Structure 1
Amino acid sequence: MSIAAVVFDMDGVLIDSEPVWEKVRKDYVTVNGGRWQPDSQQRMMGMSTVEWSSYLADELGVAQPADKVAADVIDLMADEYAQHLPLLPGAVDAVRRCADSWKLGLASSSPASLIALVLEKAGLMESFAVVLSTEEVGRGKPAPDVYLTVAQRLGVDPKNCAAVEDSTNGLRSAHAAGMRVIAVPRPEFPASAEALAHAEAVLDGLDQLTADVITG
C-alpha cells in the first residue's frame, strides 16, 4: 500500500474535546427538561450535527426543536473553546510533521464552524488541503461518507489514505472507506475491541505517529 494522504479526525485525536462535549450537552439536556443517559456520550460520538441534535430532542426529551438544540449547543461549545482550546499533546507537531510528506485531510463530526475555530486557534488551517464536517455529507460516522468525500476531494484513492481515529464509530467509518486505519484511542472513551481490530496500528499518543507507522 502506497500512502498518498493522511486524514485526521479532530475530536479525540487533535483536541481532548469529548469531555467538553459531554459536559455541555449533559448540562443542556438537564436545563431543558431532558434525561441524560449513562451511554449518551458514547452513542453520540461520530454522529453528525443533525443526528445528535435529533437524538437530544427525540431520545433524551429536550424540550426544544432539533435545529435550536444544534445552534444552542454549538454556541456553548464555541464559548468553551474561546476560553480554552484543549489541544492534545503532540497534536500540532504531528499534523505539521505529516504535512511535510503527505496531503492532509480532516474528517470531523464537529460542525464546520467549530472546526474552523479549532484549526485557526491551533494555527493548523493551512496544513489541511481538505477540511470536511459530517454535517456536509449527510450520514455521520460509522458511515464512510465523510472519509470517502475527503479522499475524493484530495484526489486520492481511499486505499492510498491513512486515517487517524480514536472512537469506535470513527474507526468503523475509516475502515468502511477502505483506508489504512491508525487508532489513537482515548482512555476516557475507549473504543470497542471490534473497532480496534480494524486498526493496523494502535498508538498511545500522537508522538508515536511516525512515517513508518503511517506507511506500514
Structure 2
Amino acid sequence: MSTAPDRFARAFGDWTPRAVVFDCDGLLLDTESVWQRAQDTVVAARGAVLDPEDDAVLHGSTIEVAAELIARRSGHTEAEVLADLHREFDHELSGGVRTLPGAAEVLRAAAARVPLGCASNSWLEALDHKLVAGGLREHFTVLEASDTVENPKPAPDMYAAAARALGQRPEDCLALEDSGTGARAARDAGLRLIAVPAPGHPVPPADLALTSLTDPELVAWIATW
C-alpha cells in the first residue's frame, strides 16, 4: 500500500474516507464569477446600496439570503429580487462555466476509490445544471442543495444528509470546502475537512488547508485510500 504524503499523514494519520462530499461553487466550478455578475446586475438594476459587511454575508450564501439582503437594501420586495436573481443567473450560466484547475483530476481519482456527493447552497436544479455544464455530473451519486434540506449551510443539515445518502457515518466522510460558511457546516455535521479557500479569502478551521486542488500531494493521498 502507498504511504500518505507527510502533510496528510500529520493531518489524518491512517484515517481514510469511505465517501467524499465536495462543495461546488468556487471549489470545482468558477460559478462564483457567474453569480457575482448576476448579483451585480440585480444590485445595480434595483438601486441597492450594499455595506462592506454584506460581501461576507453573500459569500457562500443561498440565493434566498441574497434576495432578502438586496431587497432590504433597495426597498423592493424579496419576491421581485429573487426572480431577478434566478433570471440573471440562468442568463450568465448559459454562456458556459469554467472548471477550476485540478477539479476534474481530483474527482476522477476520488471517484475511482469511494462514492462522491456534492453539497451546494444552490437550488438542486441549478446545481445539476452547473455540474452538467462543467462536465462533472457523472462523478456524483448524491446531490444535496438548499432545497433538499430544511436548513442550508452554515447549518450541518446538508452534509449530514449527504453522508446518510452515501450510506456512511459523517465521521467516515471527508468534505472539501472553499468558504467559511461551508466549512462550518461540514465540521458541525462531523465530517473531516480539507479547506481550499479562494485567493484573498480567510482560511477556515480545517484538518488541512490547501491553496489549490492542483496540489499534487492531494491526488497522491487519494491513491492511498
TM-score tier, shorter chain, comes to 0.7 to 0.9
Q: d(CA) in 2 for partners of 1:214 and 1:145?
A: 30
Between 49-58 and 151-160, report the one with greater CA deviation: 49-58
Q: CA deviation at 1:97?
A: 1.3
Compared with structure 1, are the counterparts of its residues 215 and 8 closer, same or farther at alpha carbon in structure 2 (3 Å cutoff)? farther
Structure 2 portions without partners, runs of 5+: 1-14
Aligned position for 1:87: 99
Q: State the Cα distance separating 1:62 from its structure 2 match.
A: 4.9
| DSSP 3-state at the match of 2:91 | helix
Residue 117 of structure 2 contacts residue 140 of structure 2 at CA under 8 Å; is this kept in 1?
Answer: yes
| CA distance 1:94–1:2, change in 2 (3 Å) | closer
User: Contact 1:8–1:106 at 8 Å: present in 2 too?
Assistant: yes
- Which of 128, 151, 166 is the aligned partner of 2:163? 151
Q: Does 1:201 align with 2:215?
A: no
Measure the CA separation in 1 of the matches of 2:50 and 2:37: 11
Cα displacement (A) at 1:77: 1.5
1:210 is aligned to 219
**1:42-191 paired onto structure 2 within 5 Å:** 42-58=56-72, 60-63=73-76, 65-188=77-200, 190-191=201-202
Q: CA deviation at 1:45?
A: 2.3
Query: Structure 1 runs of 4+ off > 3 angstroms?
Result: 213-216
Residue equivalent to 2:9: none
SS at match of 1:106: strand
CA separation in 2, counterparts of 1:138 and 1:184? Answer: 26
8 Å CA contact 2:107, 2:139 repeated in 1: yes
Alpha-carbon distance between aligned partners in 2 of 1:101 and 1:170, rounded to the nearest angstrom = 24
Tell me the distance in 2 between the aligned counterparts of 1:17 and 1:23: 10
Secondary structure of the residue aligned to 1:207 is: coil
Q: Report the AA paired with residue 113 of structure 2.
A: S
Deviation (angstroms), 1:167: 0.7
Cα distance in structure 2, aligned partners of 1:42 and 1:25: 14
Distance 1:146 1:153 in 2: 10
Give, as a single letter, the amino acid of the residue that structure 1 aligns with 2:123: P
Q: 1:28 is aligned with what amino acid?
A: V
Query: CA separation of 1:214/1:139 partners in 2, compared to 1, >3 Å: closer, same or farther?
Result: farther
Residue 25 of structure 2 is aligned to residue 11 of structure 1: yes
Aligned length: 209
Spell out, residue by residue over 1:15-47, the C-alpha distance to the aligned partner (whole angstroms, 9 max, x if none): 122233223212212211321222323212232
Moved more, 10-19 or 35-44: 35-44
User: Any unmatched runs of 5+ in structure 1?
Assistant: none
Q: Percent identity?
A: 34
CA RMSD of aligned residues (A): 2.1
Larger radius of gyration: 2
Asked if structure 2 preserves the Cα contact closer than 8 Å seen for 1:162 and 1:214, the reply is no
